[in-house]
Amino acid sequence: MHRLIPFAAAAVAALALPAAAEQTNGQKATDFKLTDASGKTVQLSDFKGKTVVLEWNNPGCPFVQRHYEGNMQKTQAAARAGGVVWLTINSGAPGKQGYMQGAEAQKWVADKKASPAHYLLDPKGVVGKGYAAKTTPHLYIIDGAGTLRFQGGIDDKPAARVEEMGSARNHVLAALNEIKAGKPVSVAQTTPYGCSVKYAE
C-alpha cells in the first residue's frame, strides 16, 4: 500500500496527495510508505534525525545510465559515509520503460554496485507524483528535522554522455556538506534533467 501523509503527523493523518507546490524548500517534507525491492516496508519518518536523499531512478534512461557509470555510486558512497540515508525510488508503471519488480531491482542494484539504503518501488506513482518528481534522475534532500533543503538535478551538466560531464558541480554533495556544516544550502533548487518519469496514464 502506498500512502503519503504529513511528516509531523504520520500516525494519525489520513491519505494525502500533496500538490507539487506543497513540496517547498524550507518546509516539512511529506512522509510516505513504500515497499523496497526485498519486500520490506519503508517509511520516510523511520529516519527522523537523519539526513535523507531521495533519488528517482529509471534504469532504461540514458541519463541514469550515464550517472551509473560511476558518478551516482560515488555520490551515494560519499553520502553514506557521512551518515546520510539514500533512498532510490522507481515510479515507473508496469509496461513502461524502467519498470522493475523486486528481484530484478535487487539484481540491478548489485550489478551496478550501487549503495542505496533501500531501492523503493512506486509502480502507481503515488510518491513520485506527490513529490512532483519530473525526471530520472531527480533528487531531493531532507534534513534530520524533516525539512526539504534541496530539489533538482544532481549536477549542472544536463548531458546524457559521460564525456560531456566535464567539471560538473555536484549539487547533491555540495548541499550535503553545507547541511552538515550547519550552513544554508547555497544552490537549493535547480531544474532537474533526464528522462520523464514513466508514470501510469
Does the residue 160 lie in any domain? Answer: yes
Distances (CA, A) of 59 to 69, 150, 177: 12, 23, 27
Torsion of CA 29, 182, 169, 76, to 10 degrees: -60
- Answer yes or no: is 68 within a domain: yes
What is the pLDDT at residue 158?
85
Residue 120 inside a domain? The answer is yes
- Does residue 49 register a pLDDT over 90? yes
In a domain, 153, yes or no: yes
Residue 27 counted as domain residue: no
* Separation between Cα atoms, residue 194 and residue 64, nearest integer Å: 7
Whether 166 is in a domain gets the answer yes
Q: Which of 148, 72, 79 is nearest to 112 (CA)?
A: 72
- Give the per-residue pLDDT at 65: 95
What is the count of structural domains for the chain?
Answer: 1
Structural domain of 159: 34-196
At 184, the pLDDT band (50, 70, 90 cuts) reads very high
CATH of the domain at 85: 3.40.30.10
User: Can you say whether residue 183 is alpha, beta or left, with left for phi > 0 and alpha for psi between -120 and 50 degrees?
Assistant: beta
Q: Quick check: 14 pLDDT over 50?
A: no
Inter-residue contact 117 to 85 (CB < 8 Å): yes
Tell me whether residue 42 is in a domain.
yes
* Range from 9-23, 37-51, 53-67, 141-155 carrying the lowest mean pLDDT: 9-23
Q: Is 83 among the domain residues?
A: yes
- Global model pTM greater than 0.85: yes
What average pLDDT score do residues 123-132 get? 95
- Residue 170 has, within 13 A of its CA and on its CB side, a CA count of 15
Q: Does the pLDDT value for residue 1 go beyond 60? A: no
Query: In angstroms, rounded to a whole number, what is the distance separating the alpha carbons of residues 28 and 4?
Result: 13
Q: With 50 as the cut, is the pLDDT of residue 12 above it?
A: no
Place 23 in a pLDDT band, splitting at 50, 70 and 90: confident
